[in-house]
């Protein structure tokens, strides 16, 4: 079969064939040798950035490190400056993969990966989805993701969907009327899998439950459902598996890093040990024993363009006691919940919709450091933000226009500049919080 997806990666400069070969080579390393592999790759990436990345040199403060534990913990705060100042020698904005984080943790920023590193990310994703019989070159995806609504951004994403053999459903309105149309698409298209935001897919499952429909009865080609970006609660997983008639697979990732963990066929949340090194640390940055709850800190072993070394992702988790260097298992992930906003018209929008509303203020100059959105009334929202300077009228108008486009007219937004934002006990900053009863 013609491999359109792989070809699209290659045409964009990502050496996917070489990356898949390297990924398979890593997977062939024995359990006994795997700790040596991890230690070698950690040493190599640290030495590379200490030699080639001025920004990382400033963070570390010295050019020689004797022990891994001496390395500072990186946070999103270190990335609140122009990307060009954070790239390693030999890399420019033109020869790397550049993207923005969603800002779901409240700390949005722009990041980069070198092209081989990004190709390895895809090699990993291709491998994991393959566990459930999904082939990106042939399997049809039902995609529950956000999409830019401006003409150029929208067309770019639609083109990507064609190359990924996917059909994208809108998540900005998940009313019953819209979900009827979603169901009709499943009746008329041979989807192999569902992929998207947890909260949106849960709403679809609840809609099917009300109608007493099991999705495989109208779409028998369906093999699995992969949820991402938000916390998956056990009761929601049970509901989805019942209403979809297929396994629900839990994915945990970060765009700036890679796929972090993916549920395997034994219902274990298997961590990506091929391209990442994951640690669980206490409040004093000490490594915790397996089974203990702490901060998730991750090192990207292959990204030469931009350092992510001992990077605190902002989540809390537990590594399973049976974890090994080759097969670490994420026992529990804490704090990636996201609420649903119910609007005056009855429209339901997942909290991640606010990424599309607020991205107009996410700029590479690092002005806005953090933000949260709070729904205080059915038609009223507070945007609390930390910034170097107050948002001006033009920025507020831009956001107002985005609000009308992505949500609906008639909503009231209060912009409140703060010195700092209130965090949960875990240190996590939740981007969207609804203070009204849904």
pLDDT digit string, tens, across residues 23-78:
999 999 999 999 999 999 999 999 999 999 999 999 998 777 889 999 999 988 88
| Dist CA 343 CA 349 (whole Å) | 8
Q: Mean per-residue pLDDT for 244-260? A: 94
Give the β-pairing of 432-434 and 368-377: parallel
**Token pair of 351, please?**
């909290």
92 pLDDT more than 70:
yes
Q: What angle do CA 143, 313, 407 make, to 5 degrees?
A: 40
Identify the DSSP state of 327: S
Distances 152 to 61, 144, 156, 343 between C-alpha atoms, Å: 43, 20, 6, 27
Identify the DSSP state of 382: E
Given a contact cutoff of 8 angstroms between Cβ atoms, the answer to whether 381 and 373 are in contact is: yes
Chain-centroid distance, C-alpha 137: 22
Provide the whole-model pTM: 0.78
Rounded to a whole number of angstroms, the distance between the first and last alpha carbons of the chain is 48
Provide the Cα torsion 350, 351, 353, 357; round to 10°: 150
Lowest mean pLDDT among 26-35, 107-116, 170-179: 170-179
| Dist CA 291 CA 259 (whole Å) | 22
Residue 104 is predicted with a pLDDT of: 54
Give every CB contact of residue 21 below 8 A, 6+ residues apart in sequence. Answer: none
Which residue from 255, 221, 270, 2 is spatially nearest to 112, judged by alpha carbons?
Answer: 255
Lowest mean pLDDT among 116-125, 274-283, 325-334, 342-351: 342-351
Query: Where does the pLDDT of residue 428 fall: very low under 50, low under 70, confident under 90, or very high at 90 and above?
Result: very low
Query: Where does the pLDDT of residue 423 fall: very low under 50, low under 70, confident under 90, or very high at 90 and above?
Result: low
Which residue from 129, 158, 116 is spatially nearest to 21, judged by alpha carbons?
Answer: 116
282 phi/psi in degrees, rounded to 5: -85, -175
Residue with tokens 């964009």: 12
Q: What is the pLDDT of residues 379-417, one digit of tens each?
A: 998 988 878 788 888 888 888 888 888 888 888 889 899
**Token pair of 382, please?**
């507070």
1 pLDDT more than 50:
no
CB atoms within 10 A of CB 104: 22
Which residue from 272, 336, 325, 249 is spatially nearest to 117, judged by alpha carbons?
Answer: 272
Identify the DSSP state of 79: G
Widest pairwise Cα distance in the chain:
64
Which residue from 36, 86, 104, 130 is spatially nearest to 303, judged by alpha carbons?
Answer: 86
| Dist CA 197 CA 311 (whole Å) | 24
| Dist CA 168 CA 144 (whole Å) | 6
| Dist CA 397 CA 185 (whole Å) | 36
Give every CB contact of residue 123 below 8 A, 6+ residues apart in sequence. Answer: 16, 19, 20, 22, 23
426 pLDDT more than 50:
no
Query: Where does the pLDDT of residue 302 fall: very low under 50, low under 70, confident under 90, or very high at 90 and above?
Result: very high
Given a contact cutoff of 8 angstroms between Cβ atoms, the answer to whether 384 and 418 are in contact is: yes
Residue 369 is predicted with a pLDDT of: 66
Which residue from 99, 12, 21, 8 is spatially nearest to 303, judged by alpha carbons?
Answer: 99
């Amino acid at each position: 079969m013609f491999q359109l997806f792989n070809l699209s990666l290659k045409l964009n400069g990502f050496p996917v064939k070489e990356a898949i070969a390297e990924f398979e080579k890593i997977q062939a390393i024995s359990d006994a040798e795997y700790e040596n592999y991890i230690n070698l790759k950690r040493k190599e990436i640290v030495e590379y950035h200490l030699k080639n990345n001025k920004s990382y040199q400033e963070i570390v403060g010295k050019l020689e490190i004797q022990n891994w534990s001496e390395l500072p913990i990186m946070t999103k705060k270190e990335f609140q400056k122009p990307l060009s100042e954070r790239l390693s020698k030999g890399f420019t904005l033109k020869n790397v993969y550049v993207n923005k984080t969603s800002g779901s943790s409240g700390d949005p920023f722009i990041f980069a990966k070198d092209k081989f590193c990004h190709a390895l990310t895809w090699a990993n994703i291709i491998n994991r989805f393959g566990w459930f019989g999904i082939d990106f070159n042939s399997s049809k995806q039902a995609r529950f993701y956000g999409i830019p609504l401006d003409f150029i951004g929208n067309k770019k994403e639609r083109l990507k969907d064609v190359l990924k053999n996917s059909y994208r459903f809108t998540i900005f309105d998940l009313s019953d009327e819209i979900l009827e149309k979603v169901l009709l698409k499943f009746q008329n298209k041979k989807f192999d899998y569902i992929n998207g935001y947890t909260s949106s897919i849960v709403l679809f499952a609840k809609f099917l439950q009300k109608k007493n429909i099991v999705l495989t009865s109208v779409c028998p080609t369906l093999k699995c459902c992969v949820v991402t970006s938000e916390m998956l609660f056990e009761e929601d997983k049970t509901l989805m598996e019942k209403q979809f008639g297929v396994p629900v697979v839990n994915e945990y990732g970060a765009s700036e890093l890679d796929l972090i963990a993916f549920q395997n066929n034994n219902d274990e949340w298997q961590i990506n040990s091929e391209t990442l090194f994951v640690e669980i640390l206490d409040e004093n940055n000490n490594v915790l024993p397996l089974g203990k709850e702490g901060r998730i800190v991750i090192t990207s072993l292959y990204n030469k363009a931009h350092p992510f070394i001992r990077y605190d992702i902002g989540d809390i988790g537990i590594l399973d006691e049976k974890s090994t260097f080759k097969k670490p298992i994420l026992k529990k992930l804490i704090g990636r919940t996201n609420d649903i906003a119910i609007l005056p018209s009855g429209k339901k929008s997942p909290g991640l919709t606010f990424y599309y509303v607020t991205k107009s203020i996410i700029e590479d100059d690092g002005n806005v450091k953090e933000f949260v959105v709070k729904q205080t009334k059915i038609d009223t929202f507070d945007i609390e933000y930390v910034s170097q300077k107050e948002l001006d009228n033009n920025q507020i108008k831009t956001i107002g226009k985005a609000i009308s486009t992505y949500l609906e007219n008639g909503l009231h937004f209060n912009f409140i500049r703060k010195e700092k934002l209130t965090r949960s006990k875990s240190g996590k900053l939740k981007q969207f919080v609804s203070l009204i009863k849904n």
